[in-house]
Structure 1
Amino acid sequence: MSSPRQLPSGTLSRRFNGRFTRKLTVVCVTLALVTSLAVSQATTATAADSLTYLGDLTGSSDVAVGGGKVFVAVDDRIIVADTEGTLTGVITGVSETRDLVTSPDGTRLYAALRGSNEVAEINTTDLAITRRINLTAYPCPDRLALSGHWLWVSHGCPATSSGGALSLDMSLSTPQPAPVSINPVNAPQIVAAGNTLVLTEDKDLWVYDMQGGTVTLRGTIDAYDHGLWNGWGDIALAPDGSTAYTTPGSANDFEAWDLTTLTRTRSYGKEEGVLGYRSITVSPDGAQLAVSRDTDNVDDEPLVLFDVNTGAKAQMFGESLLWTHGLAFSDSDLFAVVEKTIDRSLHLLRLHGARLPSCKLVVTGPEKSQPRKTITFTGQLTEHDSSAPGVQQLTVALRRRDGTTTMLPDVTTNADGTYTFSHTPYLEDEWSYDVYRENTPNSRSCKASAIVNVSRF
């Protein structure tokens, strides 16, 4: 058996908790802000999942995807990454960035700037701020929604008890705010799709028909009428605007609402031990929902992907001690801005091929062995539909109790997916063997682990 090779510097093989396990490549990045844009990156993102450090930053965060880029709003800057999660730039000259939205063609990024009472329009190619729309008369812009060339903005400063919403015709050289006739106490949430505009604040959900920048109230839904005593949480719309998905503060489930009949049509995710669902986003084709959730068990998965039509969990993504701020799809990938609760540091999480069905891996070995005794492992790889994968390459990471990780030689499966490999541990320790297959065009990665306690007794 050839000797194991040490992992390249900067790479950690990490074990995810939960039913599904994933490989994370941690990409450490140092941001340097000088007179011009500058970002220094230590390593290059790979095709695997990545967790990219965003710097010693605080503040609310949002994430948006467009023009082949990923944008992360963090207080006085917008950090820019490519669609592999590699940081590429930073946009400055912004103050208290609250929300981001990209145009359908990906050429423009819009940012709500609470600190300067503006909406900024940014060219996604050169990252230049092309214009600023003054909203001094409607202070504290908070949330954004885009429908055609109409940009919808919610606003409201804390402790003023005076929120509202307005539209901006971005096809004009000087867009003029057109207020919506609504008087919420705080800045409402605002989403738009198809010909539907939805605003939520506290217990009230307002549904409007849109005709350009003009809206007509279709109806309202009172959260208290449906036993949602904590009011409305986050909200997302189906691409055609027919359905709203909400994560109210109540525990254990989130819900779908028919916006024609204004009735609840489905509850998702009813289960014990989940304190509440939080951020939510819909895939561009409307087929899947990505939802973050609070858990009271560090082994639970804080990110879950649901099938819209069946309500079934399509994927679960586990990582202890992560707090999710924002979610965005990019083709089959899912991006999230996450905060490590242990040190409050912010990261950009890329789940590569999140929308793809996962392959399945099994590995079997002895529970105990002795130093310098060769151990043989067997296992099988199958595709998500249980079909044989053909000849495939698998990687095997070897971890010790102190976190030391090395890589064993790659393993080649037989055509039916069966495989075998051997290793001779040389010390008394707990040895973990993580077998992994990378994404393919039609399947997300999968992983299996075996733990062997090596002792002379």
Structure 2
Amino acid sequence: MAPSAVAAEPVDSPGASVLTATAQPKAVTLPLKDYDDLVVDGTHGKLFLSDPGRGAVVVTDFQGKVLQQITGLPGAAKLALTPDATTLYAALPGADAVAAISTTTHRVTTRYATGAGTGPSSVVVSGKRLWFGYGGLGAGNIGSIDLATAKPTVKLGHAALNLWYSAPSLHVSPADDGTVVAGQEIGSPTPIVVYDVRTGTARQKAHRWNPSGYTDTLSDLAFTPDGKNIVLASGSPYYHQVLRTADLADAGQYPSAPYPTSVAIASDGAVAAGVDSVYGSDVFMYKPGTRVSHGVFEFASGASSPLLLPGGLGWAPDASRVFAVTQEGHEGAPISLRVLTTPGKAASELALYIPSWSGPGVLSFSGRLRSDLPLKAGTVIRISRLDPGAAKATALPSVTIDGEGVFTFTDRPVGQGHATYTATFDGDALHLPSGSSTEVQVG
């Protein structure tokens, strides 16, 4: 009698029997009501995280242990660290000011008023000046604070009128602090502008409206260490764009996944590219000088999966790990810090589909191995069969996947009762293992 398949659903159905390994870095809950920005202080081994909801900056060590909570910072938004790591600046839209904070005492040393109704939301350091993005909807602009004068002076209106729909987010080149790039996080599509700020005036060097044809909801931007390129994370396109700083021409891409939300670049050029993903990988890793991911991190999978927050990535100074700020999707969920040890391995998913018989007593199987990080054709899948009444499975000839991850095999089961077939991927240097089983009625 030909065997019949029972209780064997494909992986895409709710009843599938799938064993999938995922990388879930340990999470440390942070005392944050809200989140805006992360700054890594390599000199003191600290992380600074801004909390607009509580008007605070939380200070932790590299393991996420809370060292201090600096309060009384209305709307605490974007942060900037001086090159010597002595002072942290925080944009305070709720106080129309920028605060200077000691990185050792964690005390506010100075507040610089930026003008009534300015609401500065981002700040960068360039020599003896601070530059900040400010303004409400329909009135975005750029201001500066000259710290070299006896009494610091504020100058507003550096940007052309009607260029910025909302307060632009500013980013300074690590190779040349006279180069500042501005992007817009509210409204889409977004303009990207390069400014020369050496003389105390923001002189526009390059301007590009709507890179890629539709750059939607800019979430993050990072310079390469040499300052020659910038990498964008935006809701669309579905990859991390690379633009040349000099003229904002296209300079390639990091092929991550839909809904890029964060990007961080290490001092050696390694890139961590994060996306807003419920069911796939969350962070893609790229070695210096390469555009092919060598590993990914997946926090969890499912509707309640922790999501990487916009601008939620930062590198340790020795490039040995990445810090990720995450939050589950439900209201009131805690905000957590995850420390990712690079390079990380990609989760894999192996499916063994319902078999059919191709001749008297002969079963034909097919399956598929998938991962956010592509697998090479020829990757080996081990096959085994547990015969009815047997205590130990019998190893069958291994098979390999094709370029689409598909594999097939046939077998002639023996005995009577339920036989269990198992396909196993052992993992490799870049992928975690996974497996899948299905049961058939024999006899």
Indicate how the Cα distance of structure 1 residues 209 and 305 shifts in structure 2: closer, same or farther if over 3 A, else same. same
Is 1:333 the counterpart of 2:317 in the alignment?
no
In 1, Cα distance between the equivalents of 2:431 and 2:316?
A: 20
Q: Do the aligned partners of 1:168 and 1:213 also contact (CA within 8 Å) in 2?
A: no
Q: Do the aligned partners of 2:119 and 2:135 also contact (CA within 8 Å) in 1?
A: yes
Indicate how the Cα distance of structure 1 residues 130 and 445 shifts in structure 2: closer, same or farther if over 3 A, else same. farther
SS, match of residue 97 in structure 1: coil
AA partner of residue 316 (structure 1): V
SS, match of residue 52 in structure 1: strand
SS, match of residue 249 in structure 1: strand
In 1, Cα distance between the equivalents of 2:20 and 2:123?
A: 36
Counterpart in 2 of 1:242? Answer: 228
Counterpart in 1 of 2:252? Answer: 266
Q: Do the aligned partners of 1:63 and 1:327 also contact (CA within 8 Å) in 2?
A: yes
Is 1:151 the counterpart of 2:130 in the alignment?
yes
| 1:232, distance to aligned residue in structure 2 (A) | 4.8
Is 1:96 the counterpart of 2:75 in the alignment?
yes
Q: Do the aligned partners of 2:128 and 2:147 also contact (CA within 8 Å) in 1?
A: yes
| 1:60, distance to aligned residue in structure 2 (A) | 3.5
Q: Do the aligned partners of 1:204 and 1:232 also contact (CA within 8 Å) in 2?
A: no
Counterpart in 2 of 1:416? Answer: none
| 1:324, distance to aligned residue in structure 2 (A) | 1.9
SS, match of residue 236 in structure 2: coil
Is 1:303 the counterpart of 2:283 in the alignment?
yes
In 2, Cα distance between the equivalents of 1:210 and 1:357?
A: 42
Q: Do the aligned partners of 2:206 and 2:246 also contact (CA within 8 Å) in 1?
A: no
Q: Do the aligned partners of 1:109 and 1:122 also contact (CA within 8 Å) in 2?
A: yes
Is 1:290 the counterpart of 2:272 in the alignment?
yes
Counterpart in 2 of 1:197? Answer: 180
Counterpart in 2 of 1:53? Answer: 29
Is 1:178 the counterpart of 2:155 in the alignment?
yes
**Per-residue CA shift, 1:229-277, capped at 9, x if unaligned?**
637553222233221212343242121111224310102216xxx4321
Counterpart in 2 of 1:71? Answer: 48
Q: Do the aligned partners of 1:20 and 1:317 also contact (CA within 8 Å) in 2?
A: no
Counterpart in 1 of 2:306? Answer: 322
Counterpart in 2 of 1:351? Answer: 339
| 1:63, distance to aligned residue in structure 2 (A) | 1.2
Indicate how the Cα distance of structure 1 residues 18 and 252 shifts in structure 2: closer, same or farther if over 3 A, else same. farther
Q: Do the aligned partners of 1:63 and 1:336 also contact (CA within 8 Å) in 2?
A: no
Q: Do the aligned partners of 1:367 and 1:451 also contact (CA within 8 Å) in 2?
A: no
Moved more, 257-266 or 116-125: 257-266
> Which of 202, 221, 225 is matched with 1:215 structurally?
202
In 2, Cα distance between the equivalents of 1:250 and 1:322?
A: 21
Q: Do the aligned partners of 1:340 and 1:346 also contact (CA within 8 Å) in 2?
A: yes
> Which of 89, 94, 98 is matched with 1:110 structurally?
89
Q: Do the aligned partners of 1:200 and 1:206 also contact (CA within 8 Å) in 2?
A: yes
| 1:96, distance to aligned residue in structure 2 (A) | 1.1
Indicate how the Cα distance of structure 1 residues 18 and 449 shifts in structure 2: closer, same or farther if over 3 A, else same. closer
In 2, Cα distance between the equivalents of 1:18 and 1:154?
A: 49
| 1:221, distance to aligned residue in structure 2 (A) | 1.1
**Per-residue CA shift, 1:319-367, capped at 9, x if unaligned?**
1312222221112221122111135423332324325899xxx999988
> So what's the TM-score if we normalise by structure 1?
0.64
In 2, Cα distance between the equivalents of 1:186 and 1:209?
A: 21
SS, match of residue 83 in structure 2: coil
In 1, Cα distance between the equivalents of 2:150 and 2:21?
A: 50
Q: Do the aligned partners of 1:111 and 1:120 also contact (CA within 8 Å) in 2?
A: yes
> What runs of 5+ residues in structure 1 fail to find an aligned partner?
1-16, 25-49, 376-434, 437-443
In 2, Cα distance between the equivalents of 1:85 and 1:369?
A: 50
Indicate how the Cα distance of structure 1 residues 357 and 342 shifts in structure 2: closer, same or farther if over 3 A, else same. closer
Structure ranking higher on relative contact order (CA contacts 8 Å, 6+ apart): 2
**Per-residue CA shift, 1:94-113, capped at 9, x if unaligned?**
11111112222222111111
Moved more, 327-336 or 207-216: 207-216
AA partner of residue 117 (structure 1): D
In 1, Cα distance between the equivalents of 2:38 and 2:386?
A: 46
Percent of paired sites with the same residue: 24
SS, match of residue 197 in structure 2: strand
In 2, Cα distance between the equivalents of 1:18 and 1:337?
A: 28
Counterpart in 1 of 2:242? Answer: 256
Give the CA RMSD over aligned residues.
Answer: 4.0
| 1:144, distance to aligned residue in structure 2 (A) | 1.9
SS, match of residue 313 in structure 1: coil
Counterpart in 1 of 2:143? Answer: 166
| 1:279, distance to aligned residue in structure 2 (A) | 1.7
Counterpart in 2 of 1:81? Answer: 60
Is 1:275 the counterpart of 2:253 in the alignment?
no
SS, match of residue 146 in structure 1: strand
AA partner of residue 198 (structure 1): V
In 2, Cα distance between the equivalents of 1:374 and 1:171?
A: 78
Number of aligned residue pairs: 341
Indicate how the Cα distance of structure 1 residues 315 and 136 shifts in structure 2: closer, same or farther if over 3 A, else same. same
Computing the radius of gyration from Cα coordinates, the structure with the larger value is 2
Q: Do the aligned partners of 2:316 and 2:323 also contact (CA within 8 Å) in 1?
A: yes
Q: Do the aligned partners of 2:24 and 2:298 also contact (CA within 8 Å) in 1?
A: no
